[in-house]
Structure 1
Amino acid sequence: MQHVFVIDDEQNIRDILEKYLKKEGFIVSTFTDGAEVLSALETIEPDLLVLDIMMPNVDGLELLRRLRKYSYIPVIVVSARDEELDRILGLELGADDYLTKPFSPRELVVRIKNLFKRMNRLEKNHSSQEITVQNVRLNKKKRLLLVNEEEMALTPKEYDVLAYLLQHSGQPFTRERLIEAIWGYQYVGDGRIIDDLVKRLRKKMSDANAQAKIATVWGYGYKIDEEG
């Protein structure tokens, strides 16, 4: 059985989600803020977090920021505010999905199940643990990106985008397809999140003297240029 952490400072939301998720067959632990979760993570490794943004003490974004320094546990962020900045920040920090309150428990369950299915599918489709394109080497098992055998520091979503492009080297993808592949749902926006990530990746790759490049396919999207 898969173990889900529900983190929200509103007791009625915790109670409703706990009841509904248990009915769907999940093991559920609930927490009121990020500090409690950080303590619990020292002894328990859940399969997924449902994480509210607005909480006392350690809020959701700060918890996500700390978590992504050492863990890639799937995270679905929820928030009472439907602001694009919050959504983009949450996704860039490494959230796998984003829901705006109020939402139905049924929709949350669908998102959770789809996320687990997507993770399993990606693992099956890309069983090779290493991919090399010129002097760039991707070690998927350790989630490392090496240029000339030197590690390049990346945020979680920078790694995910670059890893996806490297795994399909030479194949162009639209911004929408990249968003769907990385976050697993149709992001409502103008694709700026991908453009910003690519801009940062290009600078880091240039600084590291990476021979592989992220090329713009005009009027379409991006791809890895195998010719450098």
Structure 2
Amino acid sequence: MSSNPTARILVVDDDPTVADVVARYLERDGHQVECVGDGAEALHRALANPPDLLVLDLMLPGVDGLQICRKLRERWPVPVIMLTALGDEIDRVVGLETGADDYVTKPFSPRELALRVQSVLRRARGALVTAGTGVLRDRNLLVDVGAHEVRLRGEEVALTAREFDLLAFLMRNPRQAFSRTALLEQVWGWSFGDSSTVTVHVRRLREKIEDDPTAPRRIVTVWGVGYRYEPGEEVP
């Protein structure tokens, strides 16, 4: 559909049947798709010419998906959707902590994956939380929505597109508690999904913007509910 963002996508999976099916569905949405079955080759191509998005299998010969995700995150903020085996919750959480924007469990619906791709692309291009522009400020934390930039004590903070969306949403709704399900719907745009996705993203955000991530003062836990953003008072 013309309203959907189109992109150059690298599909990395050592199962040629899976890669072919995924490529066909993504090409049907207008994307340019390249398929690679080897981890080392995929990393080489992604670093040499970063795609707009990576669909990345966790288990690959040579260099696995987690290694690829880590190395890419050191160089480029390329959005990554990780493919994991059904039931491997630890692997999914590790993938998200490594920097993956989303994950889909195998076996999966190719159409669902295509919808997840569109969702990640929209957020990577700032189309969800940036319904307007402006600057969000809380003490020494500044979020420039228009520039898609975050600064803490004047230093730029590197956030993924999903982390940026989550932070901006919470800062725009200070002192309001949201359940993990509500955040999935409001920030991710999902009416379904694993709430551990929210938990991992909150943890990663705290590591980047809290003075002490183990005792957060900005993104606080509301026991039995979820999370809220607690703005502080400016020190004169």
| TM-score using structure 2 length | 0.75
Match of 1:188 in 2: 194
How far the C-alpha of 1:201 sits from its partner, in A, is 1.7
Letter paired with 2:150: L
Amino acid at match of 1:39: H
Question: Structure 1: which amino acid aligns with 2:101?
Answer: D
Counterparts of 1:198 and 1:80 in 2: how far apart (Å)? 23
Aligned pairs for 1:156-175 within 5 A: 161-175=166-180
CA RMSD in angstroms comes to: 3.4
Q: TM-score, normalised by structure 1?
A: 0.77
Q: Mind listing any 5+ residue stretches in structure 2 that lack a counterpart? A: 1-5
In structure 1, stretches of 5+ residues that fail to align are none
| Residues 1:98 and 2:122 aligned together | no
Q: What fraction of aligned residue pairs are identical, expressed as a percent? A: 38
Contact 1:158 1:201 in 2 (8 A): no
Closer, same or farther in 2 for the Cα pair 1:155/1:201, shift >3 Å? farther
Aligned length: 223
Structure 2 residue 83 is matched with structure 1 residue 74: no
Alignment of 1:30-69 (within 5 A): 30-69=35-74
Counterpart of 2:3 in structure 1 is none
Cα 1:85/1:42, change in 2 over 3 Å: closer
C-alpha distance in 1 between matches for 2:217 and 2:37: 45
Q: Deviation of residue 8 (structure 1)?
A: 0.5
Distance 1:143 1:56, change over 3 A: farther
Map 1:1-228 → 2, pairs under 5 A: 1-119=6-124, 120-122=126-128, 124-128=130-134, 130-139=135-144, 141=147, 143-146=149-152, 148-150=153-155, 161-185=166-190, 186-189=192-195, 191=196, 194=199, 197-198=202-203, 201=206, 205-207=210-212, 213-228=218-233
